[in-house]
Amino acid sequence: MELQALKNKFDIIGNDPALNLALETAVKLAPTDLSVLITGETGSGKENISKIIHQFSLRRNGKFFSVNCGAFAEGLINSELFGHVKGAYTGASDNRSGYFEEANGGTLFLDEIAELPLLSQALLLRVLQNGEYRKVGSNKVERTDVRVIAATNIDLYDAVRRGKFREDLYYRLSAARIRVPSLSERKDDIYLLFRKFTSDFSEKYGMCKVALTDDAIALLQSYRWPGNIRQLMGFTEALTAQESMKITPTTQRIILDAATVAQYMPKEQGPNLPAVYEGDRGGSLSDAEKQAIFKAILDLKQEVDALKAEIHRGPGDIPRPAELPHHGEEPMEAEWQGETAPRQETKPHVSFSGDYDLPEEQQQAEDGGHSMKMKEILKENIRKALEKHGGNRKKAAEELGISERTIYRNLPEEFQKGRKA
């Protein structure tokens, strides 16, 4: 079948090359009896691919069942898939057929396959290998002829490494794979889908269709749509319902700009991703930006040091100096400062100063040139903070988010005379 005709038949919108490849692969695999693994984010259209495979297979006249493996309690999933006999468990008042029995001669689509418990995975593997299974509570071996199409939104190989998914089942399912692209990868398809959804919604409720200005389209395309097609459909229908109006002889369509659309855009934020460098913006970083970057680097180093300490520390090891709370050292700082600072409660965590409180020889041995470079950055920032606060170490430490002890150990030369604030 020609690709556009296939899209029309299954109500698929879009011209993205990755989407076209997924559809073409589905049609090629359909005539075989191979198990297929469909991967892609939630809401990206994996079930549509499974229906295409079934409709173009030799089993098209058989039954097609879609089962969400994550929708059942762990104790019930085997009964749902394989059935049970009367008295198998409390509440099993009669014999019951499972999906593998009902789908005999047809296709079974197992969505969220990674949610299957390990025991169920073993039973599924047996069905895939020889078509045999047993109902819950029965010793009788049953046989079935079912093609299995599985889908997941997670990295199954990673699940195998973590012991959450059987390796043998993974290789059995993943021989034939189809990847469905996310909506964030199909930027040019977003407005096509928007027009389709607003058109369908408008026709259903007799409302004007919604069109968007160029800046509003750009706004739609800039969002990552973590819920993919499902999320875009819900957004479009809600926007149409609130901004459109009943069709009149003079008004069949309304046009919305970016300012209007922005009021309805999802507000949730995605994961912290690296920023994209857009070239020189014509200016250097401000001191405030440099301080923020410096503090972020030290924060990251602190976390890395904490992980190193936990990994290398034996059961009876004593924490390294940088990991110890400074209960016994802070009063000493106050003495040489000529101040009477009250003892503050210190939580048992790695100090912000990290390896800067270790002897210089140990720093070099552990981190090499990286540690020395960090020390130079630290001294430069300490120098600026001390200049800003007239040499007051306490205020400088507060601004940088480090201890006064770290300031004292890394005083720039011009502030070392007499070691005083």
Same domain, 170 and 103: yes
The whole-number pLDDT of residue 386 equals: 83
The whole-number pLDDT of residue 338 equals: 36
Tell me whether residue 108 is in a domain: yes
- The domain containing residue 198 runs over which residues? 186-262
Tell me whether residue 375 is in a domain: yes
Tell me whether residue 95 is in a domain: yes
Same domain, 383 and 396: yes
pLDDT in tens, 76-103: 899 999 998 887 777 777 888 999 999 9
Judge contact between 33 and 172, C-beta under 8 A: no
The whole-number pLDDT of residue 157 equals: 92
Number of structural domains the chain divides into: 3
CA dist 81 and 100 (Å) reads 6
From the list 5, 4, 27, 71, the residue with the least C-alpha distance to 36 is: 27
Low-confidence stretches of the chain (pLDDT < 50) are 270-283, 315-368, 370, 420-421
Judge contact between 210 and 243, C-beta under 8 A: yes
For residue 2, the tally of other CB atoms under 10 A from its CB is 7
The whole-number pLDDT of residue 296 equals: 67
Residues contacting 74, CB < 8 A, separation 6+: 117
Q: What is the CATH number of the domain that holds 107?
A: 3.40.50.300
pLDDT in tens, 157-199: 999 999 999 999 999 998 899 999 999 999 999 999 999 999 9
Same domain, 316 and 174: no
Among 181, 212, 243, the domain-final residue is: 181
Among 155, 181, 207, the domain-final residue is: 181
Same domain, 230 and 378: no
